[in-house]
Amino acid sequence: MGIVALAVIVIIVLIIVRPGATEPADQPTPEPTTSASGEPGARGGEATDGEIEACTSSQVTVTPVTDATSYPAEQQPLLSLTLLNTGTTACTIEAGSDVQSYVITSGSDRIWASTDCQEPGVAAERILEPGEPLSTTPFAWSRTRSSADDCSAERDPVIAGGATYRLSVSVGEFTSADDRPFILN
């Protein structure tokens, strides 16, 4: 258990410090927090006797999460995601910040994406036990637009005043089936 706690602390420090980065990242993509069995899985190729096999799309659901459904002016929404193994056996999944994506839309307009201007993420293989959710640490969205073409610190604020936005998420090939609507006042 102590090794798992140490690994989580090291990952958090690497996300905050971002070795080699010349400027701080706009928004870090969070690492998954561990559930009762969210220890890092064994790295390697195909599963052999005694190894846990890779998760398949039929056994994993990805759910976008916000901390509220409506936000007053100036309050930043906290975004996260939850992974759930709906199968009957444990499986491994690459769930690090290097494969996480958070996208906010309004209607057909793509407003913001965590992958725009993101520093290289951290790989993290996890074991998903059946029925035990694995959630990422929430992070604040700055209520601004993003674009891979413009990574400046100054970004245009989004429209509020009762506007509806939708959060969708993915982890590698696993994508949320539904989005999470929320309102900015």
pLDDT for res 30: 53
| Out of 120-124, 139-143, 175-179, least confident range | 120-124
Cα–Cα distances in angstroms (integers) from residue 167 to residues 14, 95, 180, in the given order: 26, 18, 5
Structural domain total, the chain = 1
3-state secondary structure of 54: strand
| Out of 40-44, 48-52, 130-134, 167-171, least confident range | 40-44
| Out of 28-37, 66-75, 139-148, least confident range | 28-37
CATH at 53:
2.60.40.10
pLDDT for res 32: 53
pLDDT for res 34: 42
Q: How confident is the model at residue 154 (pLDDT cuts 50, 70, 90)?
A: confident
Question: Please, what's the b/e burial string for 147-171 (b: 16 or more CB within 10 A of its CB; e: otherwise)?
Answer: eeeeeeeebeebeeeeeebbbbbbb
Tell me the mean pLDDT in the region 137-156.
Answer: 90
Tell me the mean pLDDT in the region 6-33.
Answer: 42
Other C-beta atoms closer than 10 Å to the C-beta of 76 total 14
pLDDT of 22 higher than 70: no
For the chain, what is the mean pLDDT?
Answer: 81
pLDDT for res 173: 96
Percent of the chain with pLDDT over 90: 64
Task: Name the residue range of residue 47's domain.
Answer: 2-184
